[in-house]
Each structure stands twice: as structure tokens, then as C-alpha cells.
Structure 1
Amino acid sequence: MKNELRKSLETSIFDAQIESNISYQHSLISNDMDEKIISLLREELETCDEFIFSVAFITLGGLTLFLEELKKLEEKNIPGKILTGDYLTFTEPKALKKLLSYKNINLKIANNNKFHPKAYLFRKGEIWTLIIGSANLTQSALTINFEWNLKVNSSENGKLIKSVLDKFYNIFNTSFLVNEDFLKLYEAKYRELKNIKILENSLTYPQEIKANSMQEEALKNLKALYSTSSKALLISATGTGKTYLSAFAVKEYKAKRVLFLAHRKVILEKSMESFKNIIKDKNMTIFDRDFSFLNFNSKKNTQIQINFTDNKAIDTENLIVFAMVQTLNKKEYLENFPKDYFDYIVVDEVHHSAAKTYQNILNHFQPKFLLGLTATPERTDNFNIYEFFDYNIAYEIRLHQAMQENLLCPFHYFGISDLIINGESISDKTSINILTSDERLKHILEKSNYYGYSGEKLHALIFVSSVQEGELLSEKLNFLGRKSKFLSSKNSDTERENSIKDLETGELEFIISVDIFNEGIDIPCVNQVIFLRPTFSSIVYIQQLGRGLRKYKSKEYTVVLDFIGNYDRNFLIPIAISQNSNFDKDNMKRFMMNATNILPGESSISFDEISKEKIFENINNSNFSNKKLIEHDFNLLEQKLGKIPLLTDFFENNLIDPSIILKYKKDYDTILKIFRSKLNLGNLNILEKEFLIFLSTFFTPAKRIHEMLILKEFLNFSNLNEELGLLYFENILKNTYGLISQKENIENAFKHLSKEIFINLSQIKPYPYILENKNGFYSLKNEFKASYLNNMYFKMLIDDLIKYNLGYCEKYYKQSQSESLNLYREYTKQEAFWLANLDFNNGYQVSGYTPFNKEKRLMIFITMVNSNARNIYSNIFYDNKTFNWFSKSSRYLEKNGNDTIEGKIAKNFYKISVFVKKANGENFYYLGDVDKILDFKEVKDLHNKSMIEYIFKLKHEIKRELFQYLNL
């Protein structure tokens, strides 16, 4: 251990090229695009034997980031000491109270105005890790602020750590112990100062509301559309200010008379309030049954007046009318309006406009401009909202972009494994008795209480699966004194609005619902969202999550509790939260491994181990290459684009990935014939079909750029008549893609397309070659060339396939310098051989390792969870560079006086490339080459047969999140 520390010190201080254990190297820790400070602190907490925090400030938001880890530490009785200060009374009493609840934590507060350290210490065995710098224990400091912290490792006898611990204990031992009495006094002081600040803020002059950066961009796009079109669609995530944006748009357009349509009165009231904050020179009114009605005194629009029941009349020259669709739709109202009465019409939640009530109104009026607002344009009722707005999308503000721009309240998500009751896991088929059992309700309340909320009172929204479940849970909560209300579609708007007001005032703690709060309801006070239902739709999931993401005066973040059972579609959770709908299993697992770092802003994600395993298992076992899923995205994309979508369209719009589509059927021609059989899009002859399948099956998705680049250049170069040489492609790869030393890769790619290698691979035999070799010069096969020139349908499919593959490779498998395989990306065994330029025909059935003596290359394929019964040993990663590996059974270092393959491995004869997967059914992650063999020895398997165990050290450090996944 001491030797490893010395080596790490040399690497950190003297020479970065010196090899050492990365875990012990000094490093700078900060918030950047790839990692947040919180992720590294969580990792240290998960593995420590003792921890010490000495920080000037602690907030509940900062503490909430650690709740999952703190719970585990308490369960394992890992001791912790936390010292904080009372400077400016910044540390929050709720944070202190939470820390006081842990039996394993000794909490003290330094009554010293100059107490300002920011240090985190973790002991693991005899090693201490010190992280010291600028970051307090606050939400922003640990996620987004520009903070610098130095991580240093030391043995317990090191002078530095002894000095730090001595200074810590000097203060800690003389500081106040935080107990209930201290907390009462501190909380009183905190509240007094907080009330003074609230009073000061209320006395400040209100600032003018201005468009944020995203709204300004949308307004600029709208302005450009005004001269060319009469309508546009604005897609804006819940809580991102689309109503304010529409008010800015109306103001900028200088419309005289405006109609704002919505389907609920509460939306109209809040929308009018927003408009009044932006537009000061117009009369505004809500059109409803309280009017005596419209009295048209003249056919001239400018003389029309609205008479209220109190007989007050207003001039309608400058008027904004807020109307409920259900009311304005009535014939006796609608027909009294001239068609051109309104200059500008705004339709909120416009995805409902397929309904007859909306259509009646929109078909009646002929405004100069129509603006539709929606957070979810994706429809399942076959109404094409994009077509209705002439495919004019003014702007799209999706969840992650809104979070990046700080338009939404941060959230802290906790994936919690649901209970096992009477031996039965909660699933899609669980009975209502179990779903509403006392045991499950107790579990829900315990988690709700533990993970808490931001603000003074709990304002929770619970989503359940059925009316019966919601009614029973509400009844039981009320019996326990936890005030709740269940709402469903049976409840009137007035009942819903009253319940929301009761939630805001604290008369209710919980509102339970079945889907009715997916959209159109503004409840900013919600500070805890609880999912007690399986996820059937990523769209609905985000809609429901969005109920808690509106900013609110006393809310710094929202706690999201997702009770995860054995649901069939658990994989939708990472799809929904990551906002990545391409159904790529690797992307889904990477998000699960690294979610907090991937999420923009101050938000965080935590899964307990059981729920994480359930989702990983669900991802691995799910088949996304099915007709229903593909057809759903096909229809959605066709609506959005107004044309038959091609593979590239799926890729560019972040929908189901073309590689998954092509696993359902071997080529896109077949897909088009299935989904649009009535359209005569084109036809392929037998040879063209084989060309297409060959490229779609063996070269898609492209994990290096060479084959598709070669094909693209041959198709584009001098009307297909020229033969292109090696030097031509070397120059393109160097000048366009920054790749060097590509001769071998190019030659190999030529041979792939010409089928000069892998000719014995059974799967490849039926297909025709595309390039032909003429005395060392390659050119397109004549039949392929003729089809490309003469069959426009074939040309379209080939061009689309090339464009998608080039885009896919650039996005996920972008190479650098001379490398052909990308570290930490996924490959099949066949792809590994192909891209390493190794001719091996049995790629789909290869054993655990394959030697290439001529090339002096060994390819190792490791399954971490190995089901092979012969082996009593486990594959283990000792750290993120070092692991063990076993040969096959009945293997020796020497045989008949000669080195075996295993003996050559021990003597470093081979360049060893390592590919690892966690379990069967997955692809392999490429971990690079072995740097050195640290040890090897003969061991016995279950049948007492000899095998060799090696200890390898990699050249490159495995990324933290992948290392954690492989060791999960």
C-alpha cells in the first residue's frame, strides 16, 4: 500500500507518465461538462470506513444530494463527524435537524465568525483521502458552481493528514454539540433573519419582466415567420414560460385584438395575469357565462363593444379576450364574431386541437397569425399537429435545454425499490390489496419523510395506477392524520382548483391522482412528486415529472420518489429522464451509470442497488426491435416532417435508432413496404435487394468511418467512372477527420466491400460484393453502379444508409489519430475482429480468446458474470487498470517442451486487446490493450483440470462509471 502511495505521489508531483494507481493520485475536482463534484463525493462515501466533513455552510439541498449514501452509512454503522459554522446564519436548521437524525453522525457547530473551511475527509483502512478547496455543502457548490478542490491521499501516518486531523479535532472538541435545545435557539435566530430579508425584498421596486435567452431566440424565429406564414407551433417544456413567450410575441406583433384559447378556466386566469405583466396598453377580459353577452352595435369591428353584467362597457379597439374552448365553441356565441375579428390567436395545449370544439373555433376564425403552444406535440390520435401548423416550428424548448438555461426548478430523483410483500414483488399485475396494504403505505410514508422536501411545508403530488388505488390510499392517509385528497376525471374543475389551493396553503399534504395532472395545470408549490405506478409512456412520465419543476418562491428543489417494481417497461425511466428516445441499450445503461453527471444544472439522480439492478436487467432483456415500437416512431416522425421518414430522419430527431429498426427487418425497403404498402415508393430487383441487405446488415451501424466514406466517394466522384486509390482516401481521412496512419484500415475496408476477406463467414456468403479489385485498384461493381444511376428508389435508400452511418460514427465512434477501435465503446466479437483488421471467419461463435500468431495479437473477451460451471473463480477488477483473467481448462504454460498459447501470453508474445461485458446478451466494451502482465500461475477448475490465471494491467484507466457498472 505504501509503495502504491509513493508511486501515485511520483505521478502527481514529478512525472505524469509514471504508472500508478489512479485511486491514490492527487487530482483537481471541479464541476465541468463531464462530472460534478457530488459524484466523486458520493463515490468516496460509498467505500469509506469513516468520514469527516468540515464546512462553513450546509443547506438541505446540498444534504439531499447525499441522502442515499448517508442511509447506507447509518445501516453499516460507519462513523461520521460533521463540523459546520453559524456565520451569517447561512447554514439551514432543517439541514442540521436532518443530520441530527443519524445515529452514526456526531454533529457540532463552531461558534466562530471566521470559521470558513471546506474540507471532506474519508478513511478507508489505513488510507485517508482529503478533498479540500472551495466547495461548501450546498446544492449549487456541488453541482454547477465554479469550484476548485484538491484531492490528496495519505497514509494515516502522513504528516499532512495528521496536521489536518489535529487542527480539525482542536476545533471540533471545543465546538457546540448540536442537540434539540441548540437547534431551537438557532432556528429562532434563522427565522428572524429570514423574515427581515423577506421584508427587505418586498420593499424593493419590482423589476420589468424581460424575455430570457431562449424566449428571445423563439421571438426572433417568429418574427421571421410573420412575413412568410400565418401560423406557427411553439414546443416548450412544462414550466419554461410559454405563456409569457406568447405575451411577448403578441406585444411584438402589435396586434389590436387577440384571442387566447385554453380548455380550463384556471389556465385562462393565470394566463391573463401573465399577459398583464407584459402588456400594459390593452383591455383584457375572460369571456365566460358571466357576460350578459356581446352586443354588436355595428358591422364595423372597431365599434363592437362587450357589455358586462354590471353594464360597464369597454372599447374593443385594443382587446385581449381569454376564452375557454368549451364556452366559445357554442354556436350562439361563435357565430356572432366576424371571421377576421381577431388579428392574433394563441391556442394553449394546442395538441388537443383535433377535438371538434377546437376545430369549430379554428375553422371559424381567420386571424392574421395563429400561434399554437404545447409541451407534447406527440399524439396518439392520428391528428397531425405539425401539418395543421404547416410544419412551421417556431422553437423547441425541451426539458434538458430548459434545465441548462435554469428555467426550471432543479430536482433530486431517487429510484427506490418497491416492497416484496408475502413473497410477491410489486409488478404490473399486483392486486389492489397489496398496492394499498398498510405495509406498503408505511413504506411510502417512511421514504417520503426520509427524503423530505424543500420549503416549510410538504406539498406532494402522487401518481397511482387506478381510481380504486387512489381512493383507498387517500382514505388510509387521512385516517393516519396525513391530509390528502384523491382526484380523478370525475372531479369538477372547481373541486380540482379548491384542492390545489388547499395544497398551496398546507390544508392538504398530498394530492393523489390518476393522470389528470399530466398537463394544463399549474401547481408551482409542489415540492415532492411520488410515482407509485409503472411507466407506460416516457411522454406521460415527463408530463407528470413536470408538475413539480415550476419555480416557486420557497422552493429550491423538488424531490422525486420513484417506487420501482418488477414492471415490464422500467427501461422507460432512463429514456424519459435522459430525454434520449433512440432505445440504444448502451446509451440507456450509460445514463444509468452516470446520470447525475449527464443531467444539466443542479439536478441529481440516485438509484438504490435493487432498483438499479431491476432496470439494468429490464434493459438487457427487452427487445426494442419490434413492429409496435418502430411503427409508433415512424408515424410520429411522418407527422412531424410531412413526408415518409428515412433512417437519417430517425437519427437526427433522436427517435428509435436505425440500427434497432434494421434488427427488426434486414433492410429499410422491407420496413417501408410493411408500414406504407399502399404507396408506390419504388421497387428493387433481387440483386439490388441483396446489395441493400449486405450494407444494412454488415456495415450498419458504422463503428468506423472508412467503409461508408469509401462508398460515398465512389458514388459521388466523376459520375461514377473513376477508380480511386489509397492516397486519395488517406488525404480525406487526414484533412477532414484528422486521422493518420490509415493505410491498413483503408485497405481492410476495401477488402470488406469487395468481400476479399471473411469469404468463409457463413452469414456473408449469400451477398454480392460492391467493389471489385482491378490490379490493385478498386472500383464500383458495374451492377451496383447501374442501379444507383437508374433506380432513384435504390439511390435514395443507399444515400440514406450512408448518411446515417457517417452521422452515427461521428457521434458515437469518432476516431482520433491512428486508432481504429474506440475506448469504452461497445462492439460485438465480429466487429472487434473486423475493426482490428483481423481476418477471422467465426466471429459470432468465438471462444473466450483468439490468438493471431502472424500479427502477434490476442483478442480476449470476458464476461464478468460468467455462467460457466467449470470455473470456481471470478473475474475481478482490483482497480480501474488491474484485473485477473483465466485461460480455458486443460491448459498449461508448456507442452512437449514448447510454449503453448498460454505460455506465450505469459512471456508477452502477444499484443493483448481486452473486451469486457457484464453478462450474456450484452455487447462488449473495449478497454484497450494490456500494458503488462503482473502475475500468472496454474490453478485448478471444478474438474481438477489445469488452467492459467493471469493478473493484467491495462494501458488506460477504465472510466469511473463503466468501472462501477462492471463491478455492480
Structure 2
Amino acid sequence: MLNEADTRAKLIDPKLYKSGWSEDLIQRELKITEGRIIDEYGNRKKGVKPDYILFLERYFPIAVVEAKEEAKHHATGIQQAKRYAEMLNVPFAYSTNGHKIEEYDFITKKQRTLDKFPSPQELWKRYSLWKFNKLLPFNKDENPLLYPYKIVQNKIPRYYQIAAVKNVIEAFLNGKKRILLTMATGTGKTEVAFWVAWKLYNTRKARRILYVADRIMLRNQAYNRFEPFGGAREIIKEGKALKIRDIYFATYQTLYSEKNGKRLYQEYPPNFFDMVIIDECHRSGYGRWKEILDYFKDAVHFGMTATPKRDDNIDTYAYFGTPVYVYSLGQGIEDGFLSPYKIHKIYMNIDKKGGISLTDVASEGAAIEVPEETEVKDFYSVGEFEKLI
């Protein structure tokens, strides 16, 4: 009887090839997590490495296969395969000893024994009918789910970013007008937004996109990350409502500023944008960004937040609904993409006073920029300052 390595090489691989899985659609022992950091020296737990991940297109996983040596029962690895499949957000899990194959289908919630692997086309059909009630084209030039990722500076998408991009695009293709993504700070929401925009734009599903942030730093960060769009990008600045580009970036304060007796966003036709992306939508002044979104009501509204639902951001969740994907701080730490932390409580002047005094801030040498229509007062609570200034 063959050991596991020989079972893979001599029995499992030939079965995959026979069912149409070429080498470019197979990844073996791909490390999908870094492993939790366990001490101050940076030592880690072992990362997660499924035996096989099957892809329909690079970065579009569809199934997980766990391999067992020939002498073991073919279904021995099915629970492990199911755990990996749930983690990767894929609908099919397999366990095999090279002879029989055990399949768990998350679509039907049924388990069955097979003699051969389903083909890529069969799994695409099953997935497509499940998600869209119709067979979408198995063509990367037309289908944003399969359109290639744009890799810049060797930034390879992590497993959860791939899952987030897929879920957002699925919602878009299903006609959902309000889409919410919840991902912990530092896990790459801007990356996800770029890849979503890249795929939709290049398959002509969305021609004009507006990216709205609540701070100039975040606006500029997004503009720079979207660099592969080149000359199709434009930053909207106060008093200028240019309309000759495709991908626009603005702060909501700028869009809310006045020009010719109107808010700047009203200089654009209501149907100008196909998608509006709201970064940090849990903190971006609900009243104002909702007013902007109400104006661009025909566009798909894609909100991103790092904050789970709670009392102070309930408006965000009421507007967008249940997130299409959630990647939590705890999961990021467990996967090793974020560091564990300890809380040290430090009281600053703002905490002691309960807010911010512009006089005190100016005396420390800080520059204060205030939207033109805002009536300035000396003292603001933190919440007021975030929304108004």
C-alpha cells in the first residue's frame, strides 16, 4: 500500500488530471495563513495548508481536497476538508485515498461517495446555478468573478480578501443595491475595493465609480492604490466637479461643500456613477454620506467598515443590511495577519476635557481646516469634531 506522498502522486493527481484539472488549476499545500504569533520573539503556530485547493481561475478557489494514504478509509479527511472549505468560502470539500472520493456539497448539505472528481465545468455550473439561478459565462473576459486580479508590487490576495471580493461581486451581479463589507483594521479593505473595482470596470459591469472617504489621507491612500487605472482616475477637489474620468476620489466634506448655491455632488447628474464606495462608513457622518447616496440612488452603494454592529453605528447597518462578508480582528490575530495586543489605558487632554478645544489645538501649532459652510465654535465633542470638521 502506498504512503500519503505516493498516493497523491500516483493515484490522486492522475484522477484530477483525468477530470480536467490542469496543473495551473491545482495548488498543493498552499499556506493560506501565517499562524498566530505566540510570543514577543515573533514565533508562530503552524499556518494552515490544505493538501489541495482547486481553482477555476487563479485566485478563484472552488474546492478543497484532503489526501489520505491508500490504506486509510477514503472519507477520513472529510471533516478537515470541510473546515478548510468553510474558511476559504468554497462550496465543495473532498477526501480521498486515491480510489474512492468522498464529497461534501455545502450547497445541498449532502455527502456522497464518488469514483471520480467532478470537472471544473461541472463545479462552475453547480456554483453558478446556486448563486445566480442561471449559468453565467465561464469566460474571464465577460465574467468579473473570473477576471484576473491585478497584482501590484507582489501584493498577492490573501484567502479572506479573495472571499470578500467574490462575495461583493456576487451581490453586485445579483442586483443588490446596498453592499456592506466588515473587515478589521489593517486587513486590506482598500485592496478589496481596488480588486472589486478592477474586475467590474474591466468587464464593463461598472464604468464610473466614486470612492468616498472621510479624511484626505484615506482618499489619497485609495487614489494611490488604484494606480493601475492610470489616467482614468481623478481627485474631486472643492469647487471642481470634473466629469471626464471614470474613477473618482473625494472626501464627503468636499462633496458636501457648496458651489454656485448647490452642494458639489449635485454638479454631477444623479445617474453619473455606477458604484459609490464609502470607506470607513461607520464613522463618515451618516447624515451626510446618506444624503450623498440618496442623490446617487441609481448607483450600487458599497460600504466598508472595520467595526462590528454596535449602538453607535447602528445607522450604518440599518442602511446597508447584513455584511456580505466579515473578517474579524480575532480571526486576523488567529491567522497571524495581525498581532495580538495588550491594552494600556492612557488619559489624554481630550479624554479629561471630554472633547477638543480649537484654541488649545491652535496653541500647540496645529493647522485647522474647516469646511466653508461650517459655523465654527471653540469646543467640540469628539463625535461632533469627526462629523463636522
Q: TM-score, normalised by structure 1?
A: 0.21
Q: TM-score, normalised by structure 2?
A: 0.49
